[in-house]
Copies of this chain bind each other. A is one copy, B any other.
């Protein structure tokens, strides 16, 4: 089967030609890694994705999950997938060998995960949170907790979740009411209702380990009084596993992601729900942030992966669907009909999708690569620098990828025409599935506030300054390449606009006006994402430009015509040419707007704040 999920050539381009991840092996932490091993992992992941996960993707959608006598049943085909995933030891891929992990770079795990999510996003929701929960136990658990939970979670024998949201506490996590009462034996009794819990219950594992945010009696109000508890569905007691009073009250019927169980869970209805404190009391938000940050990158990755599958399907359709003559022969009714990829408007949509998808891929892999650089750093300063990029980019990775990803799936439907609206083609499922990504793990509006209110202000803007420095290095490096001068100029302008707006926010902040940055947080994040993705595509274009130059020389292509032919007959030349085209297109279509976007922010226009509530429609 042809790969309609992820362009593996582009994956390898990012890993080996842009990020040069083989060089990570120079550091102790990754000294046993090699390109051969990376390739083997990627290849295995791709096969699992294509041959197993993808064929079950529509099962998840059409069969969905069901709640039968208090237990959630997932589609039958997911059980085999889960077994294969566990047998492959995929959860262990980037875990520390000290905990039985394989010690690969996070960026490789990221690439493998893209394959899985592109093939079957609903199924992967049962995997991602287990890993995140396990990593909390790894980082904050007592030896005893690690002993009880870690192996079982990493092997997939037990699953995990994160339980934050309550009916009255969504974006406002601090408003949660779930209670934890201290017991004499050091455990806590948990009582409360959680909603929208992804993979909150299912029949893939014999046990599910919930990471539950709750408030201990007497704790301060708001987020400062939140603690985090390990609350298993079944708890170990006297050598046996006993029911821990966690009830699945409901499973949501949703727009998409039908194969993923979104549950309402009641803890301690009968008074028998025991929780085990993770870390210290009132440290809950701080601890959960590790899991939330990982989850936010995962969600960005979902945006990427579904976009990738949507783009690939649209591309294939555009190559196969024959409709109308080429525009140059449109007046001749006898002219041959051509595949719709020949039509300029379709090609424009495809190149938008290509550049955005590849830009997101690069940004997310880069972010994961920064984690690896941080973990393998030689000094604490170096580690902090790389981690700073991660912190700064997380909200952008989460929000920009999912908002633009949604638009990629919308265009995939559009390219399919009437067929795209019909359920027999997979693109309408992509559109439905991906929509959740702009909502969960902190809505994209919350991400924008995180970027503007938190990330920009860390150390008086140190994270942003590091980003400015890093992109300046890029500009200096690409400047001599005259083939890229237009992209470089547009990027340079856009970057200047971003710096201008950031300075404007800083000024406003200093003068005590936080409303202006808050009001413009989402437009700012959009501009930031444009620039960050623009940087990635420019970087890629400069790599591709060098490679293509080498290919010209090797092929003796010394004039325009020979070069053009080389792009068609030589797969590699064609690929690199495509990278440069993506960068050109994105710079022109997207970065050209950055001046206007900046202007709309620094104008100080405040209608949305000033308008009285009564001026919206009245009932």
Please give the residue numbers on chain A whose beta carbons come within 8 Å of chain B beta carbons, in ascending order.
2-3, 7, 9-10, 165, 168, 170-172, 174-175, 195-196, 220-225, 252-256, 312, 315-316, 319, 322-325, 327-328, 333-334, 337, 341, 343-351, 354, 406, 410, 413-414, 417-418, 420-424, 428, 431-432, 435-436, 438-440, 443-445, 448-449, 486, 514-515, 518-519, 521-523, 564, 567-568, 571, 574-575, 577-578, 581-582, 584-585, 588-589, 592-597, 599-600, 603, 605, 607-619
Contacts and interface: CB of A to CB of B under 8 A. Distances in A.
Given A567-B614, A597-B593, A170 B323 contact: yes
A619 to B, nearest CB: 4
Contacts of A346: 445
Contact of A444 (B221, B414, B428, B449): B414
B596 A592 contact: yes
B445 A171 contact: no
A216 to B, nearest CB: 15
Contacts of A582: 607
Nearest to A172: B324
B593 A600 contact: yes
A337 B322 CA distance: 57
Q: How many identical chains are in the complex?
A: 2
B593 A418 contact: no
B172 A345 contact: no
Given A172-B324, A221-B333, A351 B611 contact: yes
B617 A418 contact: no
Contacts of A514: 327
A347 B519 CA distance: 9
Nearest to A618: B571
A581 B170 contact: no
Contacts of A515: 327-328, 344
Given A221-B333, A519-B344, A608-B348, A439 B417 contact: yes
A7 to B, nearest CB: 4
Contacts of A175: 323-324, 337
Nearest to A256: B421
A421 B445 contact: no
A7 B617 CA distance: 7
Contacts of A414: 438-439, 443-445
Contact of A614 (B255, B347, B574): B574
A165 B577 CA distance: 37
Contacts of A422: 252-255
Given A315-B617, A333-B224, A421-B436, A612 B443 contact: no
Given A255-B432, A592-B603, A574 B615 contact: yes
Given A417-B170, A439-B417, A608-B351, A578 B345 contact: no
A250 B487 CA distance: 50
Residue from A337, A449, A605 whose CB has the most chain B CB atoms within 10 Å: A605
Contact of A595 (B312, B351, B595): B595
A619 B422 CA distance: 25
Residue from A253, A406, A617 whose CB has the most chain B CB atoms within 10 Å: A617
Given A417-B443, A593-B600, A611 B577 contact: yes
Contact of A3 (B220, B337, B619): B619
22 contacts: A3-B619, A170-B323, A221-B333, A221-B334, A222-B334, A224-B333, A252-B422, A347-B611, A351-B608, A351-B611, A354-B616, A414-B444, A420-B439, A421-B435, A421-B436, A431-B435, A564-B612, A575-B615, A578-B615, A581-B607, A585-B607, A592-B603
A529 to B, nearest CB: 16
A59 to B, nearest CB: 16
B617 A348 contact: no
A410 B410 CA distance: 11
- Shortest 6 CB-CB contacts between residues of A and residues of B: A222-B333, A578-B615, A172-B324, A593-B596, A221-B333, A588-B605
A418 B431 contact: no
A116 to B, nearest CB: 19
A345 B522 contact: yes
A607 B224 contact: no
A9 B615 CA distance: 11
A350 B616 contact: yes
A574 B519 CA distance: 22
Residue from A449, A515, A615 whose CB has the most chain B CB atoms within 10 Å: A615
A431 to B, nearest CB: 7
Given A345-B445, A608-B351, A592 B600 contact: yes
A91 to B, nearest CB: 26
A607 B595 contact: no
B418 A196 contact: yes
